[in-house]
Chain A
Amino acid sequence: MPHKTMTDQRIENILGNLLRAGVGVSAGIVFCGAVIYLARHGRSPAAYRVFQGEPSDLHSLHGIVRDAMRLNGRGIIQLGLLFLIATPVARVIFSIWGFAAEHDRMYVVFTVIVLAILLFSLVGSQM
C-alpha cells in the first residue's frame, strides 16, 4: 500500500468518524439507561421545581460507574453523559495527532495549549 500523506480532508474524515462514534456510543448508553429508568419510575410525578442537587454518588466518576454496574437507570444515563462530555476532549487529543502527522508544528502547539487549558479546568473542578 502506498504511503498516504495526511491531508486536511483525511483528518477531517477521521475526525468526523470519531465524533460520530463518540456520540453514537453515548446515545446508546443513555438510551439503555432511559428504558430502565422509565420502566421503574415512569409513573412517579416529575419534580424539578426545587433544586436539591444530585445525590453525591452521581457527582464523581467512581460513584457513577458503581451505580451503572448495579444497572441503576440514572447511573447508566449519567455514564452515557460522561461519554458525551469526553467526546470533545477526545476530539482535541486526536487533532494533536492529526496536525503532527501533517508536520504542522504551529497547530500542534496551539492544540496542546487548548488541551492543557481544558484539562486544567476539568481537574481544577476536582472531578
Chain B
Amino acid sequence: MSILEFTVLVFLGSMIAGLLGALTGLGGGVVLVPLLTLFFKVDIRYAIGASLVSVIATSSGAAAAYVKEGLSNIRIGMFLEIATTLGALLGAFLAVWVSTSVIATVFGVVLVISAYLSRKPRSQAERELPPDPLATRLRLNGSFPDLEGVRSYNVQRVPAGFSIMFGAGALSGLLGIGSGALKVLAMDQAMKIPFKVSTTTSNFMIGVTAAASAGVYLHRGYIDPGLSMPVMLGVLLGSLVGTRILVKAETKWLRIIFSVVIVLLGIEMLYKGLTGNL
C-alpha cells in the first residue's frame, strides 16, 4: 500500500472514530486503536500515539461546540479533573509494578456490566432529586439546553464520583486508554448528572488528561507525523459532525450508542487481558 492510499484510508476511518468519540464522550481511541492495529497492522505503540492525538483532537474540536452550547459544565469538569490528573500520575507510576493484563480483564468486566446499567433511561424520580449540600457548596449544580427547553439538575454523590474519577485517571495512566468510559459512568451513574452533560463534560476533560501524557509519548517516539496527520484531520472532521448530531439527538439513542461502544471496548479489554496482548 502506498503512503497516499494509506493516508486516505486512515483519514476515512478516523472520521468515524471522531464521530463516535464526540457522540459518546469517549474520544476516538476506542475505535481507532483496534482499527489501526488489526486492520492496518500498525505497531501498537504507533497506534497508541495516534490514539492520543485523536483524543486531544476530538476533545478540543467537540468541546468548542459543547462549551458554547452550554452543554458541558466547566466547574464539574475542572473539579473532577483534579482527581483524574492525580490518578493518571499514580497510574503511570504504578505501571511498573502492576500486571496490566489483570487490570485489563477487570476493566473489561466492569465495562460490560456498566453497558447494561447505562442503557436504561433515568426515572422521573431520579431526575428530581433534591440538591446535595456538598455539590451546592462546590457549585456543581447547573442547567443545560435540553430538547424541550432549559433543564436544571442537581449533582449527587460527589465523593463517589470523585473516587471513580481518580480510578479513571489511574487506568488511563496504566493502560493508555479507556478513561473516557469511566468518566462518563462516574458522572452519569454515580453523580446522576444528565447524560448529555456527562458525555460532553467528559469530552471537555479527556483532552486535558491526554495532554498530560502527550509529553511522555512524544519523547518515546510514539507519535508519528505521517500516521497522526490523517488521524488528526479525520477525527476533527468527524467530531464536528458528531457535535451537530448530539445537540439535536434524543438521549435515549445516545445511551444505546454509548452502551454498544463500551461493550465493544469491554470485549477488547477482556481479549487483551486474557491473551496478555497489551
Contacts and interface: CB of A to CB of B under 8 A. Distances in A.
Co-complex (A, B): yes
A89 B210 CA distance: 10
Contacts of B139: 104, 106-107
B68 interface: yes
A52 B45 CA distance: 10
A50 B228 contact: no
A125 B221 contact: no
B64 A78 contact: no
A65 interface: no
B46 interface: yes
Contacts of A54: 221-225
B96 interface: no
Contact of B60 (A9, A22, A48): A22
B219 A125 contact: yes
A54 to B, nearest CB: 4
Q: Is the interface of A mostly helix, strand, loop or mixed?
A: helix
A23 B61 contact: yes
Interface string A21-36: 0110011001101100
Interface in B66-117: 67-68, 70, 74-75, 78-79, 81-82, 85-86, 88-89, 92
B214 A85 contact: yes
A100 interface: no
Interface residues of A, number: 69
B67 A12 contact: yes
Given A20-B64, A110-B78, A59 B43 contact: no
B264 interface: no
A43 B225 contact: no
A121 B218 CA distance: 13
Contact of A51 (B3, B46, B229): B46
Nearest to B11: A34
A72 B207 CA distance: 28
Contacts of A69: none
Residue among A48, A104, A125 having the largest count of chain B Cβ atoms under 10 Å: A48
A44 to B, nearest CB: 5
B125 interface: no
A92 B208 contact: yes
B233 interface: yes
A43 B63 CA distance: 36
Interface in A79-117: 80-81, 84-89, 91-92, 95, 104, 106-107, 110-111, 113-114, 117
Interface of A: 8-9, 11-13, 15-17, 19-20, 22-23, 26-27, 30-31, 33-34, 37-38, 41-46, 48-54, 56, 58-59, 73-75, 77-78, 80-81, 84-89, 91-92, 95, 104, 106-107, 110-111, 113-114, 117-118, 120-127
